Structures are given as C-alpha cells and as structure tokens.
Chain A
Amino acid sequence: MQLVDYNPAKLNEAIFGMEAMYKHRKENPKSKSDELYYELLLKFLVRFTTATEKGNYRVGGGAFTPSEILAAMDIVLYPALPVAGIVANPQSLRQDMFNAALEIGLPAAVCSAQRMWAGAIALGYMPQPDIIVDTTHTCDDSLSGRLIADILDVPSYRIDRPLIYTEDAVSYYMAELQGFIHFLEDKTKRKLDWDRLEQAVEYSRQVDEIKKDIAEMRKAVPTPMRNRQMVSMEIVDFYWTGYPEAVEFYKVLRDEMRERVDTGKGGIPEERLRLLCFNLPPTHALKLLDWWEKEWGAVSIGEPLFTNMYRASELDPKKPLESLARKDFLGFCNCMYAPGEMLIEDCVRFAKEYKVDGGVWYAPVACRANDAMIGMVTDALQKRGGIPIVAFDCDYMDPAHVSEEQLRERTSVFFEMLKDRKVIRG
C-alpha cells in the first residue's frame, strides 16, 4: 500500500467538533477546569495542524518524549496516539487504521496504539511527523518508532531510560537527554534555548507541586475529583508539559478540588465505592468512567500505573537536565517502567492511605509488562490489605476485542460484590 498524502480534513473536522464542544461548555458551564480543558485541547490541535505552515517541526510519537526540550526549541510535540484517537471519528475508522498499518508493514501481534497512529498516517488522516522519538520507558512496544520511521522515511531517535532509579542512572540519563538535544539541533538546525528550557522546567515544577496537592486531596472522603479528570490530567500532560497552559489548568483543577474538600463535597453526588484504577479503560470505552459514577457511585482515587500521585520529583529549573531526568524516573507513569516491587509497595500504601475498597485493572492484551504485574499486585493487596482486585482483558484501542457493554457487565459483577462486602463489613 502506498502512503496516502495527508489531507487535513479529518483534523479540521476534529477541530470543528472541539470548537462546538468548547462553545457548549462555555454556555453550559459544569466546571472551570472542564471548560479550560476543551479550550486547551482546541488550542493544541490548532497549533499542531498549523505547525508546518508556520515553519515548525512536529516531533514525537511515543508518550514520553521529553516535552520540555521540545518547548525550549519551539518544536511542536507530535502526540501520535491521542491525535489518532481524535481523528478516528467514527470509531469504525479504527479498524481501517489497523488494516492500513498492516498493509504498510507493521506486524499484527503488537500494541494496537502503535498500529493505530501508523495507520492513521498511512491513510492520510494525520500528517507525518518530521522526526520520530521513542523511549525505553514504558515498554518494548516503543520499538515501533524505528520501524515506523523506516517506513515513513523520517529520522528517528530512541532515548534509553534506565529501569532502576539511582544516581548513576540519573547521570546516564542526563547524557542520553544531551544526546537527544544534539540530535534535534542537528536535524532541525535550531539551537536549544537554555533559558527557555529553565522556564519550561519551572512550569513543570509548578505542575508537580500542584499534583502533590491534588494527590493529597484525593485522600479525602468523599474524594473531590471526578473520574474523567484523570483523563484530562493525562491529556494536558501530553499536550502542554513545559508551557504555562499546563500550570493554569492544574491550578484551576486544584482550586476546584480544594473548594470541595473545604466544604466536604465530593466530585460526585454520592460516593459509594473507592477504587484503584490500574489502567484507564480502553479509549473507545471511556464512558465507563461516567457509568462508574452514575450507576455505582464509584470513583477512582488513584491510578497506580498512570498519574504521578505519590512520587513527585524535586525539579530545579537551574538544573534542567537533571530535573528532567529525575522527573522521568519519578513522574508520570513511572511505575510502568520500574522494578515491580515499587508498584506493589505503592499500591499497598495507597490502599491504606486512600481507604480503598477494591481495584479494577483494565488489562490491554498487548500491555504485557503491566499485565505481568496483575498476579503479584493482586496477591499483595489481598494479603496485606484485604483488598480485592479484578482484571479484565481488553484492548486499549481496538473495540473489536471487547465492547464497552461487555466491560460494563463484568465490572458490574465486581462492583456488586464490593458493595455487598462493604455492607457486611459495616
């Protein structure tokens, strides 16, 4: 299959839809953070789609590109997976993307997230990135970057983040980041602005401080955060790390939550179940999070594999590379690429400090490294906290694997058990 030339129609359609949603939110405000979220999504999409005409580069691919470095070089991040999710409208287009990915040479038995964005590019729904970057964090499926780059004939770079956090590992990783900077400077003919990098790291430092506050507040009963907001946090992290927009969003979210905590209000009207949500539900079934709330009064009070809730890093803008290195070890999704005992200990601590009733693990079939921890985490939480965990096989991007309806049925059985358990325990 020949690659189809990029046609901005799909992205323009997404922007149009986003504009409508933003307008609706402004006219029917639920919360300021909600409104701001859509505003920032829209702003990013416009920036992304107009990058080339403004003489800018789009760099990225994987989820853990050190965005502050891109910000300091005025390079637009290319968050391949979220953007692919946006253009896959209707959802049936996802299957077209998977098929297109196969036709351009991606293997079948790998992470559907990689296949989806590669397929979206192959079909011309997304522009090609100028440079593809991937990192060893979080898993081996990030090896997709080099293959996709080879197919698209664009330069690629892989950053090696060590598994275990030590001072020697930080020094090594700093050298890796330096190498990445040299690579970018060579390919883009731009120089990194170190003052700007300091500023970007300062923004990330501020976000980290706010995340600490948010993490602490989520301990409250009832918890002040809604389920969808964990998705919002993740998306804003992807799109706006290193920019003041991220700080603004997190401040607004924190202030909303603080107000709720101060007035004893929860994020939802009636909180009945407090859960650890190990992976987000599949991207095609995020409405499950709303259903959790409405049907069961179930809220996620922590996402051990995702949100940086309990290991905020100490960022010092005057030491930008060291700060970025530590942030990657300690920040967003750090537990996905760390010794398993770290995840286990965090979950046990979580269960106690956050008064957890149970845990739900939506287990994408290709997330092998994470799935391999299900047994150990379940065992530890049961033995050391008496906390039951349930895991559901699914696929992060492919609705054909299991439907939202099937996940609802299965989750219901578990929630029913948890509810009864809570009644018995009084």
Chain B
Amino acid sequence: MAHEERSGEWSRLAAVEKARLINRSFPYTEPIQNWKEKGGKVMGYTCTYVPEEIIHAAGMLPVRITGGGKQIALTDADMQLHPKLCSFSRTCYQLVCQGDYSFLDGLIVGSTCDAMRRLFDAWKYYNTMPYTHIIDVPLVLNQEYALQRYTSLLKELVRELSGRFGVEITDKSLSESIAAVNRKRILLQKLYSWRKRRPAAITGAETMEILNAGFRMPLDQYEALLQQVLAELQKTERSVEGKIRLMVSGGPIDSVNFISDIEEAGAVVVVDESCMGIRHWSGLVDEDTDVQPLEAIARRYYSNLPCPRFSPHNVRIESVLSLAEEYAVDGVIQNVLHNCSCLTWDGALLARHLKAKEIPLLSLDMEYGAGLAGMLQTKVQAFLEIFETRRENAVS
C-alpha cells in the first residue's frame, strides 16, 4: 500500500503535501504542463553529470528522467533492450515508449554506466526522442586533464543545444542559471541541516517527496516550495523522536514508499547518498566573476560527491564515510539496484569499509521502485532490532 494511502494526512507540512500532489501527476506534472502550454521547451536528462544550468540557460526546463519510483510492466523495454538491464533504465525506457514522456523536446544522457549508454543507443535507434545527446563523462577524479575534457564536452553540449534549438547560451545566461541553481542548492542545504539535527526535524520520506518535485517543476517555483518548507520547519519546531538514524545509499532511489517503509519500521533516514539525493545537489558552482561560467560548472560537477563508477574509489569511500559522520548515522541501508553492476561492486566494496568503521550495514538487492515487503521487510526489522538491543544494553 502506498504511503499516502495508509494515512489520510501523511505529512503535516503543507509544502510536502504540495510536493506530493505535484508528484502524483508524474511525469507530466502540472508545473510542466503549464510550462509547455506557455510554449516552453522541456529537456529531459538522466544523470547527475548532466548540468541543469546549461539546459536552464538555453531557456528550457530541465526535467530529470526517472521511473517515478514505481514498478510497472516492462514489455517494450524487455524486448527492445534486455530483461537483464537494470529495472531503472528499463522503466525509464518503457515510459518513453508508452508516451508518458512525449512532452519532452529532447533528452541528454550521461554515459556513466552500461545501462545509461544502452538506453541512449536504444532511444536513438528506435527514434523515440526528437533529440538525444550523450555526454561521454570522464570517469577519473582529481586530474586536471579529465576536468578539461569534461569542460570541452560541456562546450560541445552548449554548441549542440544552440544549433539545434536556435538558442543563444551566453556567459551571462550561464551565470544567471548558475545563480538560480545555486539558490536551490543552498535551500536544499538548509533543508538537510534540519535532517542533521538530533533529533531530525523532517523525515526521509518527506524529503524525498520534496526532492522529487524539484525534478519536475521550474526552478523559481521550486525555490518557493523550498522556502515554504523551511519556514514551516522553523515555525513548527518539529522533531522525529526516538528513531534510529540511517543513511540510505545507492543509485537512482526516488521511491517515497521505499524510504517510508524503512521509517515506519522505526528509523529516520537522515541522508540519502544517491543519484537523486545528496549527490544531486551538494556543492555549489563558483560564482566568482573571474571564472568562466562553463568552467565553473564543469568544476562543480566534476568535483562533486562521486558516483560509484568513478575512480580512484577511495575518494568515494571517504566521501560516504564522511557523510555518515556528518549526519551522525547509526547505520546504513544499501539499496543495491538489481542487475546494476556498478552498485553491486560498489556496494560490496563500501560494505568492507563501513564494517571496518563498525558502522552497521544492511544491503538489500532490490528492483527499481520496489517497496519493502515480505523478506525485505523482515530484514529491515531485524536490522533495526540490532540498534534497539544496543540501546537497551547501553542503558542497562
């Protein structure tokens, strides 16, 4: 049962309810509809390494392509892609095939994993998108030549969009877009500071609802939504008491149900180390006017919390451990997307390092959009009992 079906008024935060209503009409949300009706163009993107600033500077609405955090029948995707490709990529593909994303004017993919590059190949081959572009993201960190390459790939994207859509993307428009997206990031930073508190003031599920809405609405409206939720948090002095603090780590996690299922078992998810979570928004673009805006964008995206495919891997491990400490997590739940090689290998490596730091970990192999039911639910409950037992022992 979906979370909103279980409790009449799910969140007492009006902003979260607003976000939920927006997300309900995924993917063609009301804000996107309004945008299109005014003649605006919408550019989909699949990956954290596709800079939304560039799309924004082109005068388009950046919309993150996801599967809506739900499981659906994948008939076309299984036939045209392959059943062994991850269910996230197939769900996105299926939605495009079904026409759910027909409002898109194009799609930009980051080549950050096998599934993404094949998704791009299939979209291109079957001509399901009016425009597609892939960014051949360099996957090595801390190298100036890699940053230079990424910058030149972004310049290529700017040229492509300009040529294809007849728009002028100038340094000025990029600077304005940087400022706008940075404002969003700062507001999200503030939101996450409420999650850092002990106890946290907002649940992971509520936050996920807010995050999801942000992928499906214009930036200025999203800013207003974030400001509303921050104001409400300030006013209500909420706290999520007595809960075990968890980090959820993984890939494309945008299922509110998954997070709320964990929280209903007795936890609060205080940080989401994932593609749509903190990895999406953390880190600002340098707005120093001495720095070329496109170079500043490249540097921010390149230097951000790395995804599992990047090397050297110690950078990622250190960043995850650092997050765990910053958010004072009691433990970590890994959502390892089934058939995702990146997350599977990364998960096993991360597990070793979390174990070395004595951070309790539960690793769940899950299909995209799946909630917790049956054995998975039992595993989470058993995992959380570890902390209860520890607390009891500490008290006695």
Contacts and interface: CB of A to CB of B under 8 A. Distances in A.
Given A107-B348, A146-B313, 6 more contacts: A109-B338, A110-B345, A160-B140, A339-B117, A341-B124, A373-B121
Interface in A131-172: 136, 139-141, 143-144, 146-147, 150-151, 158, 160, 162-164, 168-169, 171-172
A169 B124 CA distance: 22
Given A109-B344, A372-B122, A376-B122, A179 B136 contact: no
A336 B194 CA distance: 46
SS class of chain A's interface: helix, strand, loop or mixed? helix
A105 B341 contact: no
Q: Which 10 interchain pairs have the tightest Cβ spacing?
A: A340-B121, A369-B114, A140-B341, A372-B118, A143-B345, A158-B311, A175-B145, A371-B82, A160-B140, A372-B82
Given A146-B311, A162-B138, A163-B117, A106 B348 contact: yes
B129 to A, nearest CB: 14
B348 A372 contact: no
A309 B111 CA distance: 26
26 contacts: A105-B351, A107-B347, A109-B344, A110-B345, A140-B340, A140-B342, A141-B345, A144-B345, A147-B345, A147-B349, A147-B352, A150-B349, A151-B352, A162-B136, A163-B136, A339-B121, A339-B134, A340-B121, A340-B125, A368-B115, A368-B339, A369-B118, A371-B82, A372-B115, A375-B80, A376-B126
B345 A369 contact: no
A233 interface: no
A376 B341 CA distance: 22
A344 interface: yes
A372 B136 contact: no
B315 to A, nearest CB: 12
Contacts of B279: none
A366 interface: yes
Contacts of A151: 352
A171 B345 CA distance: 29
Nearest to B365: A109
B85 interface: yes
A367 to B, nearest CB: 8
B346 interface: yes
B308 interface: yes
B379 interface: no
A150 to B, nearest CB: 6
B219 to A, nearest CB: 30
A221 interface: no
Contact of A374 (B82, B117, B125, B348): B82
A366 B84 contact: yes
A172 B118 contact: no
A111 interface: yes
B149 interface: yes
Interface string A99-132: 0000001110111000000000000000000000
B85 A168 contact: no
A241 to B, nearest CB: 23
Contact of A109 (B118, B339, B346): B339
Nearest to B351: A105
A179 B313 CA distance: 16
Interface residues of A, number: 44
B341 A372 contact: no
A376 B125 contact: yes
A141 B342 CA distance: 7
A372 B149 contact: no
A176 interface: yes
A373 B81 CA distance: 7
Nearest to B153: A168
Contacts of A110: 341, 344-345
Contacts of B308: 143
B123 to A, nearest CB: 10
A372 B313 CA distance: 27
Contacts of B81: 372, 375
B345 A371 contact: no
Interface of A: 105-107, 109-111, 136, 139-141, 143-144, 146-147, 150-151, 158, 160, 162-164, 168-169, 171-172, 175-176, 179, 339-341, 344, 365-366, 368-369, 371-376, 379-380
B152 interface: yes
Nearest to B349: A147
Given A140-B341, A175-B145, A368 B352 contact: no
A23 B79 CA distance: 49
Nearest to B342: A140
B312 interface: yes
Contact of A340 (B118, B139, B313): B118
B146 interface: yes
A162 B134 CA distance: 12
Interface in B322-359: 336, 338-342, 344-349, 351-352
A384 to B, nearest CB: 12
Contacts of A107: 336, 344-345, 347-348
B309 interface: yes
Nearest to A162: B136
Contacts of A105: 348, 351-352
B113 interface: yes
Contacts of B121: 339-341, 372-373, 376
Interface string B357-392: 000000001000000000000000000000000000
A95 to B, nearest CB: 20
A380 B81 CA distance: 14
B143 interface: yes
Contacts of A179: 140, 143
Nearest to A342: B121
Contacts of A150: 349, 352
Interface string B208-220: 0000000000000
B84 A368 contact: yes
B274 to A, nearest CB: 17
Contact of B136 (A146, A169, A365, A375): A169
A368 B114 contact: yes
A371 B85 contact: yes
A278 to B, nearest CB: 13
A171 B146 CA distance: 10
Contacts of B82: 368, 371-372, 374-375
B76 to A, nearest CB: 10
Contacts of A365: 84
Nearest to A147: B349
Contacts of A136: 139, 309
Contacts of B143: 175, 179
A158 B312 contact: yes
Contacts of A373: 118, 121
A275 to B, nearest CB: 21
Contacts of A144: 345
A228 to B, nearest CB: 28
Nearest to A364: B84
